[in-house]
Structure 1
């Protein structure tokens, strides 16, 4: 390892905890927040999906998702997550954390919106398109999940690295909580606006046509926190550890970190190689 690379790494390890460290926690943590919301909000709407698309006229009870459909709707995003982790993890080492971070975020925003816009009036059409978009949503989450932790780790100093990474992971719990809150608020708002009798009182009139909007709004809401943090993610410079160790540009790493952290990193100017030739007597 070159001397300049060691200088950059040592300066980051001993840097004092500063405001930008907490900014990085929020920016990276919002990735975990969005990941958790998108992954776990589907479990809050599966009962409604069964009620809307699988209720048979005259049946004694409201419909529910068949076991195979329920497994697909709930699990397809996790399959995408596995594939996304492998692909974007490799791509992050090739292209850099910042570029791939932006790609995964855009993919998450688009697929969150597309999941809510799943088309098809039949059960097969709606569930098939929902599973398709949920897979690609999971693919984006699979890239965002490890990159958020990696970026926080590469920004943090040696003393507080564990605590900062734990703070980023803690945002996952807030994402799950937000999913429950959004589902309650949206459901309560529709219930207040469109009063219907219970299923046992009047099965035919117990489900308002507008109920189909509820699960779509809940799923699409996941695009909002991702979109709000996109600007700040793109303003973050590439992590110095990546620039110094992988891109092998210690001077650029020192310049990037000096813009956001109050650290002094002195690296030597690169000296051009001299070609020596000898001439005969």
Structure 2
């Protein structure tokens, strides 16, 4: 027998799209804009770091970061993100979504600035300081995942909830695009102000001293969008679902949402106390495993597999572009010119494939459903990755780089019009309110474990077995994502309480099956 739903929750589920929905998307989404900017701009400046700190004096060859240093610089933020997702996800269920929401943003602001101010007497000192601050930057970024997703899901109506959550995540695309754009602007400005001597005349002078400011400015810019939204993030009220279903304060929930919805809502305290016996199971209890164990397995495995491929492709785009001849060899460019060209390449891919993919998901997720989009995305990622990998020597031939870039862009398009968006959306919908943030954090952390495997593994795989075989492994990984998608339930058109089973009394609640 279903419990009678609180009027405040019914009001949220049936609310027409209003200005507060768009405000919430912008406030939460700017966090993800910053997240993507901070995580992906590092791949643009790693070559510059190598030239600045690892070039041997008098050498005619520009320096490069050793493989272990590259992995550390690109992967340390992901390690922090993994830890932050678990910690802040758990804290969001214990203390409330809003109370810890500002902490994550403050960490991101401070550590973005501190990363650009990394100091040391020699290369090791600068890199060690950079890695330290990027770990804590990642820790703050990690907290943004479960908190933003949960807040948006609990604010949204059930008809367009998927689109609203996906729109928050879609701000990542603009963050990646901004990373490329800022790199282009900064490097172009420095290139004009401090032109490097011709490389073939004096190779050792191709990196002008002022180039050290370029990577620092690019990294510090990540603090700007986060700082701009801090005030508005602190003004958001706690979600009614946390206040009513977890904190058991129906009066406060009704008061908060009355202001948001601009309607009068009855408190109804008798409907939230006491909690239903039999529905009071703990996280990872036998009842939780029976009801949600396969769901959590599905959200963690699909996010893990997706991020192995997605982060490998994103963080090492420049290596792939160079291997097919789309970017000149490092010896033929000045240090700042290389930053400019890599930023331009990242911007092109983001503009033509990444950003459109995200917004296709926003437009269609509540029509097609989460399951169909995720399955389709993994399938086409598999197809295009194998299409690149199997005839890889063909794509390296002169004149074929355009075809390679089109196919490569399509893998990004279907990642974002597919599992990169849906793996973020679904965990914010299918778990009970008191576990929602924690389970989203666990799912996201599994994704970051995959990104770490992709980041560290890609470097050594390319060195050991080459790009072709590495890309075939990524294709097989995407294929596994197709299989594990069948563990993920469909949440389209259902309220959060319906899909999680919170609207059912006691032991009568049953595990929901996947609706395809």
Shorter-chain TM-score: which interval?
over 0.9
Aligned counterpart, 1:200:
200
CA RMSD of aligned residues (A): 1.5
Aligned counterpart, 1:138:
138
1:76-115 to structure 2, matched below 5 A, reads 76-115=76-115
Aligned counterpart, 2:171:
171
Partners of 2:130 and 2:186 lie apart in 1 by 20
- The CA deviation at 1:26 is 0.8
Aligned counterpart, 1:267:
267
- The CA deviation at 1:267 is 2.0
**Higher RCO (CA < 8 A, seq sep 6+):** 1
1:203-218 to structure 2, matched below 5 A, reads 203-218=203-218
Normalised by the size of structure 2, how large is the TM-score? Answer: 0.51
- After superposition, give the CA deviation of every residue in 1:96-129 in whole Å (9 maximum; x if it has no partner): 1111110000001000011000011311000000
Where 1:45 maps in the other structure, the secondary structure is helix
Aligned counterpart, 1:122:
122
Equivalent residues of 2:8, 2:257 under 8 A apart: no
Aligned counterpart, 2:18:
18
Where 1:120 maps in the other structure, the secondary structure is coil
Aligned counterpart, 1:275:
none
Closer, same or farther in 2 for the Cα pair 1:211/1:121, shift >3 Å? farther
Which of structures 1 and 2 has the bigger CA Rg?
1
Partners of 1:147 and 1:268 lie apart in 2 by 27
Partners of 1:249 and 1:99 lie apart in 2 by 16
- After superposition, give the CA deviation of every residue in 1:58-90 in whole Å (9 maximum; x if it has no partner): 222100000000000000111111100000001
Aligned counterpart, 1:276:
none
Aligned counterpart, 1:36:
36
- The CA deviation at 1:216 is 0.4
Partners of 1:151 and 1:28 lie apart in 2 by 8
Partners of 2:206 and 2:121 lie apart in 1 by 19
Partners of 2:191 and 2:123 lie apart in 1 by 23
- The CA deviation at 1:157 is 0.6
Aligned counterpart, 1:148:
148
- The CA deviation at 1:251 is 0.7
Aligned counterpart, 2:62:
62
Where 1:59 maps in the other structure, the secondary structure is coil
Where 1:99 maps in the other structure, the secondary structure is coil
Aligned counterpart, 2:480:
none
Stretches of structure 1 that go unaligned for 5 or more consecutive residues are 271-281
Partners of 2:268 and 2:180 lie apart in 1 by 54
Paired positions, count: 269
- The CA deviation at 1:44 is 0.6
Partners of 1:137 and 1:56 lie apart in 2 by 31
Closer, same or farther in 2 for the Cα pair 1:8/1:144, shift >3 Å? same
Equivalent residues of 1:62, 1:199 under 8 A apart: no
Partners of 1:160 and 1:33 lie apart in 2 by 21
- The CA deviation at 1:263 is 3.5
